[in-house]
Amino acid sequence: MKSSRIKLTLTVIFFALFTSFKISAEDGSRLWLRADTVITPSEVIYRDTGDETLLLAVEELRRYWKGHAVRLVISDARDIRALTSEGFLIEGDSRSGVTITSSTEAGLLYGTHHLLRLQVTGETGGSITVKESPKYALRILNHWDNQDDSVERGYAGSSIWQWQSEQDSTVIALYRNYARANASIGLNGTVLNNVNASPLILSAPILKKVKTIADVLRPYHIKVYLSVNFDSPAALGGLPSSDPLSKDVRQWWKGKVKELYTVIPDFGGFLVKANSEGLPGPQDFGRTHADGANMLAEALAPFGGIVMWRAFVYNPSDEDRAKQAVLEFLPLDGQFSPNVLIQVKNGPVDFQPREPFSPLFGLMKETPLMPELQITQEYLGQSNHLVYLATMWKEFFESDTYVKGEGSSVAEITDGSLVPQKLTGIAGVANTGMDVNWCGHHFAQANWYAFGRLAWNHSLTAEEVADEWIKQTFSNEPDFVAQVSTLMLESRETAVRYMMPLGLHHIFAWEHHYGPEPWTDIPGARTDWMPSYYHRADAEGIGFDRSISGGAVEQYATPLCEKWKDLATCPEKFLLWFHHVPWDYRTKSGKILWDELCYHYDEGVQEVREYQRTWDKMEPYVDAERFRHVQAKLKIQSHDAVWWKDACLLYFQTFSRRIIPYEIERPIYDLDELIENSRPKTVKP
Amino acid sequence: MKSSRIKLTLTVIFFALFTSFKISAEDGSRLWLRADTVITPSEVIYRDTGDETLLLAVEELRRYWKGHAVRLVISDARDIRALTSEGFLIEGDSRSGVTITSSTEAGLLYGTHHLLRLQVTGETGGSITVKESPKYALRILNHWDNQDDSVERGYAGSSIWQWQSEQDSTVIALYRNYARANASIGLNGTVLNNVNASPLILSAPILKKVKTIADVLRPYHIKVYLSVNFDSPAALGGLPSSDPLSKDVRQWWKGKVKELYTVIPDFGGFLVKANSEGLPGPQDFGRTHADGANMLAEALAPFGGIVMWRAFVYNPSDEDRAKQAVLEFLPLDGQFSPNVLIQVKNGPVDFQPREPFSPLFGLMKETPLMPELQITQEYLGQSNHLVYLATMWKEFFESDTYVKGEGSSVAEITDGSLVPQKLTGIAGVANTGMDVNWCGHHFAQANWYAFGRLAWNHSLTAEEVADEWIKQTFSNEPDFVAQVSTLMLESRETAVRYMMPLGLHHIFAWEHHYGPEPWTDIPGARTDWMPSYYHRADAEGIGFDRSISGGAVEQYATPLCEKWKDLATCPEKFLLWFHHVPWDYRTKSGKILWDELCYHYDEGVQEVREYQRTWDKMEPYVDAERFRHVQAKLKIQSHDAVWWKDACLLYFQTFSRRIIPYEIERPIYDLDELIENSRPKTVKP
């Protein structure tokens, strides 16, 4: 895979530079950047300052813009200054000429990509007026890549950084393609390495590689960040401790940061997972998360660097895991330095197919919170299932926290529009790897794309983003766009149905988080890593009662808390998240809970089969290579949906002791066999 | 399995003799013989001659008959003499007394089982008058059991003969239960060993075991037969050759037969597979099948023994395999000794899910032909699929050969009613093994049962036999009987649909004959063992053109030959058996052939899913143990049906280059993966 992608990358560059032939290998390596180069480049008017970012914009326009001349203008006019520094204004007409104006070269590059996108999606026919500024200042990919080139929760091959490779031109070309793709959707930062960070990331040989990457990414206006191990002063620096209040430790970090900025003058900062799932942190020395974060912030501040400190912490305790981030971080609100953001996963547990938003959003009023979304589909079929995540993220962005009264959406809380913030940012855990199509599943590219577009503008609808992506990646054909868009927009709800409907969560297989294992019970392991901790099925019913006094529901503001606490008013999508519900409870459909559960699973299965049908009908619109690849993945998904349905229904049936309604397709698996064979990833007869 | 069945067998005997408690282990070991013993036995009136067969009848009645006294009478009255020696007359009323009359004790035993069956199926309420004679004189099970206790094409455990075991009481009890089951359905012979026979079957130690078995079976009116290896004189006797015209060879056989009859005075005779699939035969010495059969017949004749000589012969040649039995045997018609029967498989190829009848039936006018049916489901899902075979056998029995004009059914040709025969007989390849339920699948017991009942009376309908079996084996509950009967009656057509619809045949996996492998191509292997030999799919169409001049269709009589030869009049169930049909040929439904094929496969899948639903609804009527066992088997069948559908459609699609109609559920397998993984027998996710 690796070498084939690199070879192809070179081929692409060759063709792009010297010819306008169409690429025949439809392997998805070009992502959504598939426009043909033009034969006669249009005129691009700009003042050549030698700025590399500006030249990239010029190059894009010369290669791909099919209209009349484009003028690129740096301006500090009032209307331009009203935008953020990365914002831009596009005005004109493709037949008579278009002007892109920004206060920075980065804005011109973003405006250029925006214009080219409009061209591909067929929106440059008449006059154009577009004014854009990003909603979040920091729009960052988190790569959970290890220095041995493995990728934690990566399902698309080894690390694109190729830590083990020589810095040859093929690797550089790969970085460049990556950077161009990110720039085209507005991303401006990348954390290169796993949050489960090795201290060695800060060692000299690795920093050399980091510098190489930063140098390639810089013209694309992408800053490089690193995840750091909190114990680095001891583990790497040889100090006796890594206590954040120790003078030597603080000095060590200051020295290390200085070294970093010497090599990478625009280095972005640190991402830290501390005192979480066994990693070291300030609590090991009796200090708080604030002590730890502020120490790093102090070292970074002189250079303009930031700290992204993760709130994903929980300990084995009597406290519901869903409550622990609030218990840990809320008391520290107001104690963090100005260049610290707390990075908070969208939900209170862990990137489940559906969670309510984390109650930290809204509760922590004095600290900038940075949502962390997961692009890689750890819990959503990995690179086998077609699940378009924009709908899930939109559900999150639009969740009303009520902390400033009705209309206090998570998006407006975090982007600074409702509560002014010193810093705003959003992170997405990347789904990229060395697979030739970058993401394993062609449709997983849409999630990378959507993360970028929504990080830029979370008020875009999931449908708008899907349409843009489909048109750029596959076809403008209205029938194709309409049918594939419908499929994508429904796909996440379908996955919830066949995996974890009605508020169920974390009943995944212990080892791989791919398939169902609601029965898993590893003796001696943490109870809050066991599915039974979450589903709590018994003879009476199923679900986690978080509606009790002191329960997790009380971390939400009025009137959400009251609404969710009451079984009668709790939305059914969160039913089993907040309540332990009797098997014979009447749901809104009039069915009892057990039957409702059965129908949800079955609908999930039927919907995937419908997706297969839809996709098969799309064959005339798609090249054979990508058509077959997606078709094969849908087969696996269809197979897996039945597996999920059977595993969950047969297992929960041992508690409910009720019949699966006869209208529903009967199970084809035996529970005992499923329990015995836990890891099926491919379809074997 | 083995020891558990033996233990259970003893338990059954214990309970039957000393108590009337209901057996709690519902493991299927009791087959269709599940009546409770009565607490106060009824009077049985008979003349005690000490005949063991008569005493077995008396014992059955004392244990199970719930009505008034039964009289057992041996009679040579005219109306009794009009029956065959095994026939019987039942007259009377269960409240005032019933008389069973026959000219033999065997007839009284059959009459007794008939009466007890009527009692269980609820037909002994009023007055009873039943007069029965078996249609075939020889009703024989063929066990393909080897002396190492393996069973060729056996899917229910090791050989019930337990060749390796000491002759202890548990083994004897097992033989007795087997014999009783056969007697209850009218079977009177059993070939103990595999037609691929070892010469050692005739060695002294093994004959000692054969004698033990014969002694146990004798009171049940079941004769023992052996398959013999044609090369035994050389291989076992040490002669220089086994040439059937050699005086020494003939003498050797005579001596061996004499030895046999000294040990087993009522020994039945030999079954011979010669010059077939690599086995030795008379052709090895330049002699004919008649020479070989007649030599053995000569040795057996003085003792009343018979030879069953198999017509299942074919050589790798340019001649269609379906034609070869006729080419080989027709010229020998009239040359066989009077105590020889030619044993002919129902179809001309090999126990496929659907074949036309073998053209030997009707063509060979001077030789008694003995149909060979396969009870073990070698080609019909083995012991995993629920396929009731009576409908297939009825289709065979009722096939009109037209050789004596319209109405010359295979049954009437072979049973002597249309063409007088010196000998009549029918053989079924057994599906028994040491599995606790004898046959692997509880519903496979129905095929053993149906073979016996139809061998006795082929004019019973498949529905009548199913109803009898269901009532005895499971329940008299009308809803249960109706639904399960419908399922059984449709099941063979369903299997044809998801395996080999429209006349397709022998596209099974090379190694195991379980799953689909239409693609198999073993370099260097016989072409007539390759699926492509049979399906002949190409860009134009699919099917074996046997309608050409000199083709297999010409082995059938007028008007069958003409009807089947013409694509327009050939029944669609035989379409691809006799014709190579273009993909776009319009079938009777109006669909083109490719679509018709797709719909057939899909209907097969949907039907199995419907069987699962039906069975699940039957839960209230069935003990949990058998309910779950059948439910688990149906899951496998449902899974396999999809596998068959996907494998065949995806493979044939590589020729047809047409779309699977969109209404049809899409494939979930990849052809390449299916080709790689050929042996999936259980359901793994």
- Pick from A13-17, A200-204, A508-512, A675-679 the range whose average pLDDT is largest: A200-204
Q: Which residues of A touch B634 (CB under 8 A)?
A: 666
Query: What pLDDT is attached to residue B677?
Result: 78
Contact B187, B455 (CB under 8 A): yes
| B663/chain A closest Cα distance in angstroms | 8
Q: In this predicted model, what pLDDT tens digit does every residue of A437-473 receive, in sequence order?
A: 999 999 999 999 999 999 999 999 999 999 999 999 9
Where among A108, A132, A156 does a domain terminate? A132
Question: B378 an active-site residue?
Answer: yes
The CATH number of the domain holding residue A65 is 3.30.160.230
Whether A515 contacts chain B with CB within 8 A: yes
Q: Which CATH number goes with the domain that contains A391?
A: 3.20.20.80
Tell me the pLDDT tens digit for each residue of A645-666.
999 999 999 999 999 999 999 9
Question: Does the pLDDT value for residue B682 go beyond 60?
Answer: no
Mean pLDDT of A369-385: 98
Pairwise CA distance, residues A540 & B666, whole Å: 39
If asked whether residues B355 and B221 sit together in one domain, one would say: yes
d(CA A514, CA A641): 11
pLDDT at B7: 43
pLDDT at position B17 is 40
DSSP state of A555: G
pLDDT of B93 above 50: yes
Chain B segment 53-72 residues within 8 A of A by beta carbon are none
Same domain, A419 and A464: yes
Q: What is the pLDDT of residue A17?
A: 40
Instruction: Examine residue A75 and state whether it is found in any structural domain, yes or no.
Output: yes
Q: Which tokens belong to B587?
A: 């079938």
CB of A298 closer than 8 Å to CB of A331: no
The alpha-carbon gap from B639 to the nearest alpha carbon of chain A, in Å, equals: 6
- Beta-sheet strand order (sheet of B97-102): B44-45, B70-74, B97-102, B88-93, B127-132
Does the pLDDT at position B499 exceed 90? yes
The C-alpha atoms of residue A564 and residue A417 are separated, in whole angstroms, by 27
CA distance linking residue A504 with residue A79, whole number of Å: 49
Task: Go through A470-496 and write b for each residue having 16 or more CB atoms within 10 A of its CB, e for each that does not.
Answer: bbbbbbebeebbebbbebbbbbbbbbb
The residues in A 603-622 lying below 8 A from B, measured between CB atoms, are 609, 612-613, 616-617, 619
Is A378 labeled as catalytic in the residue annotation?
Answer: yes
B632 in a structural domain:
yes
- pLDDT at residue B421 greater than cutoff 50: yes
Is position B571 within any domain? no
Instruction: Give the CB-side neighbour count of residue B677, counting CA atoms within 13 A.
Output: 14
Q: How close A381 comes to chain B (CA, Å)? A: 15
- C-beta atoms of B666 and A638 within 8 A: yes
Identify the band that residue B19 occupies on the pLDDT scale cut at 50, 70 and 90. Answer: very low
Looking at residue B10, its pLDDT comes to 41
Which of the listed residues B132, B167, B184 is the one where a domain comes to its end?
B132
Q: Are residues A469 and A615 in the same domain?
A: no
Task: Calculate mean pLDDT across residues A350-378.
Answer: 97
CB contact set of B133 (below 8 Å; sequence gap of 6+): B83, B84, B86, B87
Q: Which of B612, B634, B680 sits opposite A684 (nearest CB)?
A: B680
The count of domains in chain A is 3
Residue B635's domain is classified under what CATH number? 3.90.1330.10
| Angstrom distances, CA of residue B492 to CA of A633, B393, B576, B608 | 34, 10, 18, 11
Bridge partners (DSSP) of residue A592 are A586
Q: What is the mean pLDDT of chain A?
A: 94
CA dist., res. B174 & res. B433, Å (int): 11
User: Are B303 and B290 contacting, i.e. CB atoms less than 8 angstroms apart?
Assistant: no
CB contact under 8 A, B685 and A659: no
Contact call for B684 and A682, based on CB within 8 A = no
Are the beta carbons of A577 and A355 closer than 8 angstroms?
yes
Position B511 scores a pLDDT of 81
Q: Do residue B143 and residue B289 come from a single domain?
A: yes
Tokens 């790689």 -> residue: B676
Three-class SS string for B378-412?
CCCCCCCCCCCCHHHHHHHHCCECCECECCCEHHH
Residues B59, B208, single domain; the answer is no
What would the mean pLDDT of B174-197 be, rounded to a whole number? Answer: 98
The two tokens of residue B77 are: 């009255």
Residue A245 tokens read as 């209040």
> Residue B315: what pLDDT?
79
Confidence of residue B314 (pLDDT cuts 50, 70, 90): confident
Mark whether B201 and B144 lie in a shared domain: yes
- Judged against a pLDDT cut of 50, whether residue A12 lies above it is answered with no
Q: In the structure, what pLDDT confidence band is assigned to residue A175 with cuts at 50, 70 and 90?
A: very high
Query: A524 vs B287, which has greater pLDDT?
Result: B287
Residue B197 lies in a domain: yes
Window B:633-672, CB contacts with A under 8 Å: 634-636, 638-640, 643, 647, 659-660, 662, 665-670
Q: Residues B96-151: pLDDT tens digits?
A: 999 999 999 999 999 999 999 999 999 988 999 999 999 999 999 999 999 999 99
C-alpha B116/C-alpha B121 separation (Å) is 9
pLDDT value at position B678?
63
- Asked whether A132 and A409 are in contact (CB, 8 A), the reply is no
Q: Give yes or no for residue A528 having a pLDDT over 90.
A: no
Instruction: Please report which residue ranges of A121-203 form alpha helices under DSSP H.
Output: 169-184
Residues of B in contact with A673 (CB under 8 A): 682-685
Largest CA distance in chain A: 76
SS3 assignment, position B574? helix
B456 and B537 belong to one structural domain: no
Contact at 8 Å (CB) between B177 and B459?
Answer: no
Instruction: Give the orientation angle of helix B390-397 with respect to helix B462-473, to 10 degrees.
Output: 150
Query: For the residues of A427-490, what is the DSSP string, one character each?
Result: EEE----SSTTSSSSGGGHHHHHHHHHHHH-TTS-HHHHHHHHHHHHT---HHHHHHHHHHHHH
A372, A378, A435, A595: which one is catalytic? A378
Question: Strand A97-102 vs strand A70-74: parallel, antiparallel, or unpaired?
Answer: parallel
Q: Which of A138, A557, A154 is nearest to A342 (CA)?
A: A138
pLDDT at A24: 56
pLDDT at B526: 85
Q: How far is CA A565 from CA A71, A548, A560, B314, B470, in A?
A: 57, 8, 8, 77, 54
Predicted confidence at residue A422, as pLDDT, reads 86
Say yes or no to pLDDT of A5 above 80. Answer: no
Residue B50 and residue B199 in one domain: no
- 8 Å CB contact of B685 and A669: yes
Query: Chain B residue closest to A676 (CA)?
Result: B684
State whether A685 and B670 contact (CB < 8 Å). Answer: no
B383 in any annotated domain: yes
CB contact under 8 A, B685 and A683: no
Which among B506, B576, B578 has a CA at the least distance from the CA of B542?
B576
Phi, psi values for residue B550, rounded to 5°: 85, 0
The whole-angstrom separation of Cα A199 and Cα A77 is 47
3-state secondary structure of B315: coil
Could you say which DSSP state residue B176 is in? Answer: H
**Closest chain A residue to the Cα of B643, Cα to Cα:** A685
Quick one: DSSP state of residue A592?
Answer: B
Question: Which residue out of B277, B511, B538, B665 is catalytically annotated?
Answer: B277
Chain B residue at shortest CA distance from A641 = B685
Q: Are residues A128 and A142 in the same domain?
A: no
Query: What token pair was written down for A401?
Result: 């926290």
Q: Dihedral (C-alpha) A24, A26, A29, A31: value to the nearest 10 degrees?
A: 110
Contact B388, B466 (CB under 8 A): yes
Q: Note whether B449 and B113 are within 8 A (CB).
A: no
d(CA A348, CA A365): 17
pLDDT of residue A11: 40
Amino acid in position B339: N
pLDDT band at B681 (very low <50, low <70, confident <90, very high): very low
For residue A488, give both structure tokens: 């994508």
CB A277 within 8 A of CB A267: no
ipTM: 0.89
Q: Which of A94, A113, A132 is the last residue of a domain?
A: A132
B516 interfacial to chain A (CB closer than 8 Å): no
Query: Do A162 and A222 fall into the same domain?
Result: yes
Q: Which domain covers residue A649, as residue numbers? A: 496-544+580-678
- On whether residue A562 sits in a domain, the answer given is no
What crossing angle do the helices spanning B204-217 and B247-263 adopt, rounded to 10°? 50
Question: What is the mean pLDDT of the segment spanning B275-301?
Answer: 97
Contact B635 A668 (CB under 8 A): yes
CA-based nearest residue to B661, from B679, B649, B647: B649
Question: Is B487 inside any structural domain?
Answer: no
The pLDDT value recorded for residue B424 is 98
Radius of gyration of chain A (CA): 25
> For A140-156, what is the mean pLDDT?
98
Closest CA to B27 of B328, B425, B440, B426: B440
Distance (Å, whole) CA B549 – CA A558: 88
Which two three-digit tokens encode residue A675?
Answer: 């329990």
pLDDT at A187: 98
Residue B284 lies in a domain: yes
Q: Which residue has the tokens 């494939």?
A: B667
The confidence band for A529, taking pLDDT boundaries of 50, 70 and 90, is confident
Taking alpha carbons only, the member of B174, B171, B181, B160 closest to residue B33 is B181
- B350 in active site: yes
Kindly tell me if the per-residue pLDDT of A14 is higher than 80: no
Please tell me whether residues B398 and B296 are part of one structural domain: yes
Contact A619 B669 (CB under 8 A): no
Q: Which of left, alpha, beta for B294 (phi over 0: left; psi -120 to 50: alpha)?
A: alpha
Tokens of A173: 């070309």
In angstroms, the first-to-last Cα distance of chain A is: 26
**Is the pLDDT assigned to residue A3 strictly greater than 60?**
no
SS (H, E, C) B266-304: CCCEEEECCCCCCCCCHHHHCCCHHHHHHHHHHHHHHHC
CB A264 within 8 A of CB A222: no
pLDDT band, residue A25 (cuts 50/70/90): confident
pLDDT number for residue A119: 96
User: What one-character-per-residue DSSP string does B74-118 give?
Assistant: E---HHHHTS-TT-EEEEEETTTEEEEEESSHHHHHHHHHHHHHH
Q: What local confidence, expressed as pLDDT, does residue B23 receive?
A: 44
Q: What is the CA radius of gyration of chain B?
A: 25
Shared-domain flag, residues B301 and B256: yes
